[in-house]
Structure 1
């Protein structure tokens, strides 16, 4: 089976949702998104995570897609929650819109992270992973948005049309890792996007600063741009304490979590991904499973953790309810009270009081 035939037979989630078109690219090409000096995580064309596994090959992708073991998901998996957030929060409030999309309200600011409102996490509207629940906050119910933070450009994290709608209605600041400004402006040149490298930061006002931190992941939007835009996690330093948001990452050697703890001290709140992790041999380098997420929790020792990246788009092999079930088992094994690390559903909000 050649690559052209494989494109016709592989499942749409594998090719669309998380940028797996990128495995087709092996040639060293010019980077259309970013030109800059070589660093410890940029070779002049592609970004990479130092000392961590990078790309899976064609044979490995074929093995996953034809290997079976994919659990069925329901057509609909509605959340019992639907949030209508307040216009302003003087303290801290965070709500899951769905998958990895959060509204963080802190110190009078309203911040969106990886806002995805589309029906599909896909480059096309007729195929690819489809929502099994609507956004937990309707677009029309959003409060005035001051800033939008993008962790990386996979379709389940970067929804171009949602960004266009946010610019039209709210005129927020957009902050993203290197190269993602070009991705967004290619579709909507009117949207200004500020980019930073790992270790960079953006002052959002009101005593809130967004810091871009490493993650063990990758990027791609099409067939020729694997790892040509950077990816990141965010730490928000705020008057209410530090908030650590991880969009996608593998656990790897754990260094990124130790580094966050060393740089920022005690974390008030951590958003940690717990889904899209099976088969483990394929996903381990790029997505944590609940056991990995609990290991990360033990390193960063946040006062509170909230689990996301599950139960909205079927991207991988595990069943829709397996992530929270396995999180509960991992917390019990680690003797961590379950209320300290909760798996959120879309529309569910958390405040320091509960």
Structure 2
């Protein structure tokens, strides 16, 4: 498999990307310890938990309004200034290298694929299967031929699987003009990337700061918290932020997950660090990637907000099909 080849930088050593303020991903030995070691407590999710919501979005949203529709897990439709943007689109039943095994959906996407408006831009944060779904990207390419913006190296994954995907790859801190006064900047995030056993960190990962007529939206698809440096730096470089989209799920056991996934307590800290006016919680309740119960993230978010004396309405855990307008 062809991998990224580019100049050495402060986060690329010539072969692997790395986070100067992060830690390497867990070793395969630690993966086996989590999966097969004694004392593991993996909560059982119900087979199917339908969302009470379903969305049929408009063809376009014009003016200075932003319409955000939660598709599920880390997938969003963001509509503003006449542009339709998908984030980490996954409509597949499984997030896995194979179709017969791996994490499976526990609810339908909040928007049926055939109800999508014409998609202009797709943002893909990194290469993990629950974020970069080739089957969905190929369907989007066939139906809409959108422009796909992604961090370095993920373009090779997409183009190698389907040359019709119109993908462009960018580095951290690159600002990409979209259309109609909209732009997106790729910003560092505390995570890692891989598609298989032998390509760890050979493609880059990122969060996004989307400039809209209603203010800047900070889209964090996957991240650990660490010491909060990444969130404070985004506040300094890109603030003020109108809205943050923050992950709140896939966090147990903490000894294994804390460096790559935030729990709700971490996500509340991230909100305070980045200074966004409000936040929407995602990355929970659709695919069971880790050990916590399906409803644990939403419950723990309420507790974390109460503990931090933050009003519940400032940070809401979303369900597929829910819509927020700003």
Q: Which moved more, 1:180-189 or 1:50-59?
A: 50-59
Distance in 2 (CA, whole Å) between partners of 1:58 and 1:265 is 38
- Partner residue, 1:70: 42
Matching residue within 247, 271, 281 for 1:307: 281
TM-aligned CA deviation for residue 93 of structure 1: 0.7
Partner of 1:347: helix, strand, or coil?
coil
- Partner residue, 2:11: 41
TM-aligned CA deviation for residue 59 of structure 1: 2.6
TM-aligned CA deviation for residue 255 of structure 1: 1.0
- Partner residue, 2:102: 128
For the 8 Å contact 1:96–1:344, the answer to whether it is kept is yes
Partner of 1:93: helix, strand, or coil?
strand
Distance in 1 (CA, whole Å) between partners of 2:163 and 2:145 is 14
Matching residue within 203, 207, 210 for 1:229: 203
Partner of 1:85: helix, strand, or coil?
coil
Distance in 2 (CA, whole Å) between partners of 1:62 and 1:290 is 26
Gaps of 5+ in 1: 1-30
Matched, 1:217 2:191: yes
Q: What is the TM-score of this pair, normalised by structure 2?
A: 0.97
Gaps of 5+ in 2: none
For the 8 Å contact 2:145–2:166, the answer to whether it is kept is no
- 1:89-168 matches, within 5 Å, as 89-90=61-62, 91-168=65-142
- Partner residue, 1:55: 25
**Superposed CA RMSD:** 0.9
TM-aligned CA deviation for residue 222 of structure 1: 1.1
For the 8 Å contact 1:94–1:350, the answer to whether it is kept is yes
Partner of 1:282: helix, strand, or coil?
helix
Matching residue within 236, 254, 260 for 1:262: 236
TM-aligned CA deviation for residue 264 of structure 1: 1.2
Matching residue within 299, 303, 320 for 1:325: 299
Q: Deviations over 1:138-177 (max 9, x none)?
A: 1100111110000001000011011111111111111000
For the 8 Å contact 1:107–1:240, the answer to whether it is kept is no
Q: What is the aligned length?
A: 322
Partner of 1:259: helix, strand, or coil?
helix
Q: What is the TM-score of this pair, normalised by structure 1?
A: 0.90
Distance in 1 (CA, whole Å) between partners of 2:314 and 2:44 is 30
Matched, 1:86 2:58: yes
Q: Deviations over 1:291-341 (max 9, x none)?
A: 000000011121220000000000000000000000000000000000110
- Partner residue, 1:175: 149
Q: Which moved more, 1:163-172 or 1:316-325?
A: 163-172
Partner of 2:166: helix, strand, or coil?
coil
Distance in 2 (CA, whole Å) between partners of 1:282 and 1:223 is 18
